Structure 1
């Protein structure tokens, strides 16, 4: 561990410095070998990017205009912005628009064919499968009035979601003019009131209920978002026309028609000759092109000239440019390596900071995934261990609250039920009923006392008052107290303490712990059985055992016997099963003395509970002789 602390960050910083030095020494050779190819790749990339931009702009124009009339200003603007010559011609090479001087010869090879109904996928890799530009809407384009109504309806949905559910949203408009409401589960910001307004400083809107990352249930239906998806009159007419075209296309191939939806998906009709998806898609694409063709510009051939080479690319006398480039590269490499090292050092710190903030905001699952093996990795591991501990403590707290409410509910319900019955005259408040109510009250008092003991132990306020204790005498006292109960149950209660061991302990707390073990043993041992209290000296202290010949404990239940409110038989009533806290108190008392509580058992042959105690509690000197 110390080795990691001494070399983790230091080695990284030294390695970064050495790497910068190596890069500085080899920078000139590297620059000479790669500058040319790098320049070529950069120019190719820029050329492809500008070609794609030019093609996209012209596709957008063609998709929204019936002819190429008026495209010349756009061609000139694109030429100025990209530094390229742009010429647009018909297929017979008649010039439609050209950024060069009139009469200039066209480039030898065309760059693309601009057709919004057959997009070139090499320039537009994200094109749809039917290669129809999404901006080509044709008869599906909404009128001005329909656009206004659609946008107003989408605005109402966004406002409803924000005001009623605290859900943020925005209005988006599709190429055809249809508006839609995009809702997000992120709570909308509370609007601030004007200065002097009595509504100033409003109460922040609570976060919407539901799973993080999902919309609250029913928000879209309540705010009318479904109505936005209904086609308007213009779209319905265009959809009916397209439906007729597709149906005719399928029937020409001897196939059954399908039902088109507004989003241009389809549902097959039951038929003996159903069409495959590929056949339907082919008919749909063919008929969409036929329907849209009158609304878009005809196909045009695009010529894009190569950019002019800058005169400053040549090296000057004496290799000044080469030296300057090498120096700049060394500087960039030095800064890049430093930034890389800083990023690798700060990334896990940022991750740790984010996890701490999430935990502060109540996210108990916040953890840090850091694979670093140095100091920061150790810090992250320590944080994760702390987070696991806090999460475990919180779960235990919630389980404790749930168990307490469950354990108190039954006796309180019994007392209340009988008292209400007596009040209503249904039950007579006789001696037996009073005795039953007293018994339930004593059970409540027993649970509350046990809870108080555990609360003091958890808070570290349960104090010991140690003194020399003769363990044999203590076992005799406990046996005397419980011998009457054992005899009434037909059990034999024995004590064994060879060697008369002595230890320094709190006699009251120790009797309480042993008494709890005896009560537990008597409860789980049938008539004719035997409960034995033993004490024997060990090199480290004294072991006190309570062994019974009862039903025993199943192996899978042994790890849980000291848990609060745990019982192997869930059907047993609390009246016969105890408060469920006695063994938990035993464990706390043993640990408070610096020892531990354990159990061994053979199902059907009984169980043995052992208190392994040191000669003295922590911070006290042990005793060596009986007082």
Structure 2
């Protein structure tokens, strides 16, 4: 598996883990929050309903309810929303706390802030309807055409409304007491608002939620506000008549539930105008935006897991990358310091492993190049030392008179000088070729014609060596090449073939076309080359038989130069040989279309 693929897979693992953990945390926290909010809704809904109802009952209106809802939302950790009957949102705890309004769950709970009819009045009505009970609720009610009963036959004072409860048959009857309680609630709300205007408390509210709704101290200490409130209520004949009309119609219709039903419905109608409007309560989970701290223990564990995965993955990547890079850095430093034998371990098939292998190959090439350079210097020194030593010895002998000058001696010294010149010329050609500075003049060349001409030039040498030279080039074979450089290649190959072939031997030159290639073959039946030396044939100064090479004056650079020239022409040169049976050199060049 490649290094790139491992990084990709690790990143994908981290990403998938993060996405999965996030999804799990989201679902887990959402489910937990829903369950918690449901439990909290069931647990706290009674408390919330009672608190809101008491607030509306004591004030008769809803301004200031937001403070109560905010406190309840903080205490219960619930989203509390209150709406009117037509769907208008009156209070929303999320909006008040600067959060988007979250969802609400379940059915709405009704919040009715109207006061309840005193149980004592309902019980009194029950007793009047029991079998054997005597009397009627009110004399006027026995005659449907009679006027409705007032609160009294004389002007009603605060003492009459908030004082002792009447016990006579008329004003102490359950319907009259019901009307009296409704009037008490209306008057009490008006009175506390008057009291609040004078005291400037900013929160006009009743102190008690049951009749008579005003304490004795409030009535005593605020007579003007109480008197004004009572007068305003008892003189509202339209309101009083409406209450009695509702009750009378209900009783004449004969409610199957008895007088209690009529009392309750009439009382509710009587206090509706003064009470706060009914609300709908909806509860839901609170949308927290408090950051990571609100996620709880699962979020902490999930975040820790993600961090651990990221750290482990990063550590693995860093280790996989840094260790090979560190080795390469150290090896490069040692290579720069001259240690050409330094190598780095290679393992696996990743990009870093291939980089290490490339570094080792480069170091190997540098080491071989350095060794070839040292061998070249040593070979050049060796090739130059022997002839120069001969020249020096003869010159010293001539100078000292030990050696007598002769024509033969000077001819031998001249031959040695020519050999040194040939070595220097070949070295220069090789240096230019390896540097890419060897000039080529490319032209269409008939390889068969070039080989035939070169064989003619070497026939005299071959005849002197007792070697038969044969050319097999039946048809033209065209190439794009430098004819002079090809003649140099042919001359080196042909000279070596004649040089290493014994008398009565044979050298064959063959030219033919094979597909898109032009092929030149130089084959001899000479001494051949040992199998272990075939890889060194094109090395500088290498000789199959040094004694024979020296005897014929070769420099040991011909095959190296030939190999470079053929390579520069886009071709290749190959050698096969069997020791004592002969050698074959094959030159393959791109054919000319």
More helix by share: 2
